[in-house]
Structure 1
Amino acid sequence: AYTDLDAPVDIPAAYKVRALDTAGNASAYSSPVWATRDTVAPLAPNNLEAVSQDDTGVTLGWSGSNPDTVRYSVHRASSSAGPRIPLGTTTTWNYRDTTGDPGQRYVYYVTAVDAAGNESTSAQVTAARSVGPNAAPKAPSVGLARIVGDHLTLWWDQGGYVPVSGYTVYRSRSATVDTTDPANVYATTTAKSLERTVAADERDYHYAVVAHSAYGVRSPASASVLPTVSAPQPPPSTTVYEAEATATQVHLVWAAVPIGPGDPEITEYRVYVSTQPGVTKANAENVYTTPATDMWVGTPEFGRPYYFTVSVVNAAGLESELSPEVSATPGT
């Protein structure tokens, strides 16, 4: 066998072969054969379509292109702008993909390839494996796992297109939670989160989550996670952005404090008041509480400046640092 890498491009050339023995004696030449170095790609497949889309896969069909096509190459992408993933090749005019996620619409690309390896432009079609009763949800992805004080918080995301009716949370002291063992079942929920109170000797458990479809089909398990452990922290402080005085009152307005997933709810705000600057929790002359983010504070002395600062209190009873001090003078 011999490969001629210097053959002229797209021009027919004749080849003949003779044999030599160890003494250098040559045989007669073979009859010549003609060949052409091919750099012309076939045409793209014709009439590409999704012949069937059922709950076990997608079947593609098309008609041939050039007579010199020896195989077809099939790729798939999650969108027209997404990367193309090779699925396989076929010598027939059809291909079945059983690996797509149920409900996910894919763009399928099919190209024709000739014996010289020249590949055509692609034909494309959009199709999706349907969601049937045997379709399994995708594995949940746990994004938050922490224990603050004695409060466990797990949050997870659920991708895919298979409807989920609920989740089972498993736990064990093993780094990889066995979600096939009923003894490891910790909780069930329809939410994508779980909050529980845990004892001090339960902080070394690992957790994993399994989703269930409406037909009871289980997803693969999420990755097993070990929650981070920390002491409870006070909420962040706020800022007073309005202090408007009337003759006998001052209207204070401050910013609501956001909380993160699993953080204790904000239950109240404390307003510290003094007739002297430098208000602290210890030297305030009056302290008021409210669940709102504004308050009217009575100021009985007309024309005298009053000084205010606000703190934030959460459901764990923890209080934030004081806000920057503001002042207002009634009657001015």
Structure 2
Amino acid sequence: MDDRKLQVLRAIVEDYVATQEPVGSKALTVNHELGVSAATVRNDMAWLEEAGYIHQPHTSAGRIPTDQGYRLFVDRLERIQPLSSAERRAVNRYLSDAGDLDDVVTRTVRLLSQLTHQVAVVQYPSLNRSTVRHIELLRLAPQRLLLVVITDTGRVEQRHIELAEEIDEDHTNELRTLINEKLISQPIVEAPEILSNMPAEARPELRDIAAALGRVLLDAFIDSSEERIAVAGAANLTRSNTPLMGVTPLLEALEEEVVLMRLLGAGSNSNLTVRIGDENDVESFRNTTVVATGYGPGSVVGHMGVVGPTRMDYPATMAAVRAVARYVSEILERNR
């Protein structure tokens, strides 16, 4: 494909996204400075149609892009449209006001939906990719303790522990110190081996309680390793002026966290990805586009993205997803 045909394809995509109407050669020559005659544009459109980049939805209509055409359009984007300075200030202010991790995720998924007018999906930071920031051990009663685990991403897990024997405040503090010495700054995935050796390093009279603490911690890590997903803007699918085949199965799929994890991608990199139509592995999403990226403080701990019709404003959507992921990564980095 030469540059002129690519220019024609870009113009068709941009006009179709903006007007939601099939695009004809006359409209292209009027609305875009292509520097060629309408006849040349028609020839280029005929070539693009034969190559599978555009098609005619019905007789005597203009042309609309195919999934292959959108794919080429995205791959050949010269730049991703940045957020305006006002949008950047609003995003920064809105996310910076967040409190705990739940608030950060809730604000993020709402913000993405509002910015893109699509369905937004945000994965909570994965426990398996996090490290321990602090462990608190509180004595609630002679035979009852409260265990609180805080990760570097701000995730908090709490467990109550019922003991077979009594424990005083001094021994509670001693065990708290031991656990923190062993686990602070350690990856969660290495916790099982560390905890298995911990009782042997406690004083003999505290070893049974240390072993009990280790079991509760392991249970907490295992129970909490299941990924959590936040979704916002599902109503945008029904408001879309582009009909989506099988909206009901799509809405049902958005309620399945396993499906959404596959949708966002299980990769560990932070690259922005755009999957169009049949490029999506999940059957219910093969009439949509998914724009997703990873986020995290230094390394990827989760993914976020949006789901919408293939007829979407790709430059603006890609810019919004990338910008919001960057802001969330900065927030998690500051809170470490």
What is the TM-score when the length of structure 2 is the normalising length?
0.20
The structure with more strand, counted as a fraction of residues:
1
User: For the pair shown, which has the larger CA radius of gyration, 1 or 2?
Assistant: 1
Higher normalized contact order (CA 8 Å, seq sep 6+, divided by chain length) = 2
